[in-house]
């Protein structure tokens, strides 16, 4: 059953209204707490917090670091679930309906976003598209056209002048972070929107430099929702951005003198990271990790690995590593994790991992692979 079908959406939204109505407290209920003796007392601190819903893990990490204790931040996609194929339940839509702020990545990552937000009755909901203003890369139809390398090891595949990001300056004119979303997406809804990202690469969060821009967009949205806390949001954002900028500098230093500039990864999630640091991503699958590569695509990656003597084939934590292991076995390479941070596993959460620590693990894994 595809969520993009209008009949399905209508049913979901009808159920949402029931769920929201059954679970909704009155304004007085929301601001009071029982003493256990039939009396109530005001709960000012909880009432003052923003209710923020975010689509998936990187948006949670960025938002929580900006909001601090001034918001309750809830992630829609559960831990350990691959977000590309996730679809909201009626309960999820009801949670969005009652939120003050909705933060999502955009660039086609959340294929459900326009249908859901277009069905809401919460006119005051502030929608923050974190990738707004970022020059987006196209996901090429043939992710396995690996191009050729110059003598210095850099990729000569043009990618339609990615550095300019032409025609994909994701600024949407002057939408602001509230995003009125009055442009009509009915045609997209009819077309299905089935996890194809609209031809654009949504994985901007994997470039620390672009993560900074996403954090600033989130800061602006939270400040719009609670202008009285704008200065605190800015201070929190500044502190977190300092960590991102340090991470960015460490990536730059690590790849400057590396022996090679290419790496093979499970799906095409690392285009922005590769572009930022002058690397060449060679993906086994396309923009979605669930996409099964054809025999010809597998052969292309195997040929590349043999020709360039690739010693490491990267896989991911939230999807099967079988394809990566098959290629590694064929070329005599080892496998290692390069994490697209589309979500954390329960084990990673228990270990206290976060975006910064996982990206530093990615950095160490790349340093090894690029110097073999």
CB atoms within 10 A of CB 368: 13
Tell me how far apart the alpha carbons of residues 156 and 306 are, in angstroms, rounded to a whole number.
19
Residue 198 confidence (pLDDT): 60
Q: Which residues of 54-90 are buried (b: 16+ CB within 10 A; e: fewer)?
A: bbbbbbbbbbbbbbbebbebebbbeeeebbbebbbeb
Q: Which residues of the chain have pLDDT under 50?
A: 1-45, 141-167, 171-195
Tell me how far apart the alpha carbons of residues 120 and 318 are, in angstroms, rounded to a whole number.
31
Could you report the per-residue pLDDT of 253-262, keeping only the tens digit for each? 999 999 999 9
Tell me which residue has tokens 């809804």: 189
Residue 72 confidence (pLDDT): 98
Residue 179 confidence (pLDDT): 42
Secondary structure (H, E, C), 205-223: HHCHHHHHHHHHHHHHHHH
Residue 46 confidence (pLDDT): 54
**48 — phi, psi (to 5°)?**
-75, -20
Residue 193 confidence (pLDDT): 38
Q: At 281, is the secondary structure helix, strand, or coil? A: strand
Residue 208 confidence (pLDDT): 98
């Amino acid at each position: 059953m595809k969520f993009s079908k209008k009949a399905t959406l209508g049913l979901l939204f009808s159920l949402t209204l029931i769920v929201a109505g059954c679970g909704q407290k009155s304004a007085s209920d929301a601001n009071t707490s029982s003493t256990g003796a039939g009396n109530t007392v005001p709960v000012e601190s909880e009432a003052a917090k923003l209710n923020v819903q975010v689509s998936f893990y990187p948006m949670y990490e960025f938002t929580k670091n900006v909001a601090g204790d001034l918001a309750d931040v809830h992630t829609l996609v559960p831990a350990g679930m691959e977000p590309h194929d996730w679809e909201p339940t009626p309960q999820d839509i009801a949670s969005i309906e009652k939120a003050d702020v909705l933060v999502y990545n955009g660039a086609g990552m959340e294929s459900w976003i326009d249908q859901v937000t277009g069905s809401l009755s919460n006119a005051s909901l502030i929608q923050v598209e974190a990738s707004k203003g970022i020059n987006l890369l196209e996901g090429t139809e043939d992710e396995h056209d690996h191009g050729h390398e110059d003598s210095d090891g850099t990729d000569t595949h043009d990618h339609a002048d990615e550095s300019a990001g032409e025609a994909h300056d994701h600024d949407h004119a002057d939408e602001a972070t509230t995003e009125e979303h009055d442009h009509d997406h009915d045609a997209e809804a009819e077309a299905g929107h089935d996890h194809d990202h609209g031809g654009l690469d949504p994985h901007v969060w994997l470039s620390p430099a672009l993560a900074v821009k996403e954090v600033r967009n989130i800061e602006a949205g939270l400040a719009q929702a609670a202008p009285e806390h704008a200065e605190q949001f800015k201070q929190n954002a500044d502190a977190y951005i300092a960590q991102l900028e340090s991470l960015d500098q460490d990536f730059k230093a690590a790849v400057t003198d590396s022996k090679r500039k290419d790496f093979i990864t499970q799906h095409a999630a690392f285009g922005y990271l590769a572009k930022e640091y002058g690397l060449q991503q060679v993906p086994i699958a396309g923009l979605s990790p669930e996409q099964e590569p054809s025999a010809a695509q597998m052969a292309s990656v195997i040929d590349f690995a043999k020709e360039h003597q690739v010693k490491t084939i990267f896989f991911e934590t939230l999807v099967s590593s079988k394809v990566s292991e098959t290629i590694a076995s064929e070329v005599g390479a080892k496998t290692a994790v390069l994490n697209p941070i589309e979500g954390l596993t329960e084990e990673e959460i228990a270990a206290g991992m976060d975006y910064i620590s996982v990206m530093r693990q990615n950095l160490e894994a790349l340093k090894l692979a690029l110097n073999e």
